Copies of this chain bind each other. A is one copy, B any other.
Amino acid sequence: MQCTFKIGRETKSLCQKKIISLLSPVKEKSISFCAKHLAFRCLEKKLDNFKHSGGLMKTHHCSAGFQSKFTVLPGEVDRYQGIWVDLTKIGEQLISKNTFPSTLEASLKLWQIQGITSAWLKVSIFQSALIADAAEHGFTFHHAEGSIATLSLWMDKSKKTKIPRFATHQMGVSGMVINNDTHEILVVKDKNRPYQLWKFPGGLSDLGEDIATTAEREVFEETGVKTEFQSVLAFRQQHNSPGAFGRSDLYVICRLKPLTFDLHPCDEEIAACRWMPVDQLKTEVQATSLTHTMAELAIQGLEHGFSQVDIISYQMASIYKGMKFHIFLRACK
C-alpha cells in the first residue's frame, strides 16, 4: 500500500533517511507504519510541539485516505530531555501483557526520533510482570521502594549515560551529651551489636530528618534523656558499612546539652546506660579509638570553651523557592 504525507520538502529530505534507518527494525507492520507517520509529523513540527503530546490511541488520517491507530505511552519531558512515564496511572488497555511490549517498542522508536535522552518508567509492584518486558529493551532498575519501582534507560547512545545514581549514603547521627558541671558524658551499650562497647547513643536518620533532630530523637529514645542540639563535633564517611545494603555511611557526632538527667534506657535496644566521667571515657578499654578522640575533644571544649571545637550550623535560604538548609562550618572570627 502506498501512502503519502504532507510534509515540508526540507524536513523530508533531511530526515527521511534517518527515520527509515531507525524504524526499519520494527517488526509489526502497523506499528512501523504508524511510528513513521508520527515521526514525520514530529520532525515537521521541529520536535518541540510534540514533547508533551505522546498520547493514548491517536487516530490519524493520511492523505491517501488510509486510517490507522497507534499507541504510544504518555509521558512528561524534564529539562534534561528525559521522558517520565507513570504506568501506575495508565489504563489497563495500554499496559496489558499483550499490548505493552508493542506499545513500549513504538514509544521508544518515537522518543529516539524526538531526541529524548533518557526514558523513565514508574511501575507499581502489582504491575511487576511488565518490568521484564521493559528489561528486554534495556531498562534497568534505577531505584525502588515500598510499592513503586522506577526503571530507567539511557537512550542517547552517542554519549555516556548521564543518569545519576540513586542515593549513595545512609546518615547515622549520635549525640555526645555533655554535663558541663560534672564533666560526665552519656554513654550506652547496644543490645544488638557484636561488640559490647560504650558508645554515644544514636541511630539512623529518618528520610527528610535534620541531623540535629535525629541526634535529639535517638538520645531520647535510647536513654530517656531530653537534650538540646548545640553543634556538630565531627563526621565520618565510611564505605561498605555492614547493614547499609552496599551503600556508604555518613556518621555525624553532635554536641548536645542535657535538659534532664535521669536515665530511662530503652529495654529493647540498650544493654547498659550511664553517665561516665570524660577522663575515664578517654582511656576506657571498652570503647573505640573514635570514642577516645571524641572524649579528648570534649576535654578541650570543657577546658578552653567549646568555640574551640564546634562546627557550628545555621539555617540559610535555598535558591529553590521556599526551601532552607543548614550549613555547618567553623565560626568566622
Contacts and interface: CB of A to CB of B under 8 A. Distances in A.
A169 B169 contact: yes
A125 B141 contact: yes
A91 interface: no
Given A141-B144, A317-B289, A204 B165 contact: yes
Contact of A168 (B205, B288, B326): B205
Interface string A298-328: 0010001000111100001111100101111
Contacts of A329: 233-235, 293, 297, 309, 311
**Chain A interface helix/strand/loop/mixed:** mixed
A57 interface: no
A215 to B, nearest CB: 12
A81 to B, nearest CB: 10
Contacts of A166: 145, 167, 170, 245, 247
Interface stretch (A22-30, A58-66, A128-136): A128-136
A68 interface: no
A131 to B, nearest CB: 4
Interface string A9-30: 0000000000000000000000
A135 B141 contact: no
A143 B170 CA distance: 13
A210 interface: yes
Copies in the complex: 2
Contacts of A197: 319
Contacts of A268: 159
A41 B236 CA distance: 47
Interface stretch (A103-111, A147-155, A257-265, A270-278): A147-155
Interface string A69-88: 00000000001100000000
Contact of A167 (B169, B237, B311): B169
A32 to B, nearest CB: 26
A308 to B, nearest CB: 7
A1 interface: no
Nearest to A330: B309
A310 B170 CA distance: 25
A-B pairs, top 9 by smallest CB distance, nearest first, are: A144-B144, A128-B131, A141-B144, A234-B329, A238-B325, A167-B247, A167-B167, A169-B169, A125-B135
Given A125-B140, A309-B329, 19 more contacts: A126-B132, A128-B131, A141-B144, A141-B146, A142-B145, A143-B144, A149-B149, A164-B170, A165-B206, A166-B170, A166-B247, A167-B170, A167-B245, A169-B250, A208-B248, A235-B328, A288-B319, A293-B327, A330-B330
26 contacts: A79-B192, A125-B140, A125-B141, A126-B132, A128-B130, A142-B144, A142-B145, A144-B149, A145-B165, A150-B245, A166-B170, A166-B247, A168-B171, A168-B205, A168-B207, A168-B208, A169-B170, A171-B250, A207-B246, A234-B329, A236-B325, A236-B327, A236-B328, A237-B328, A239-B325, A250-B250
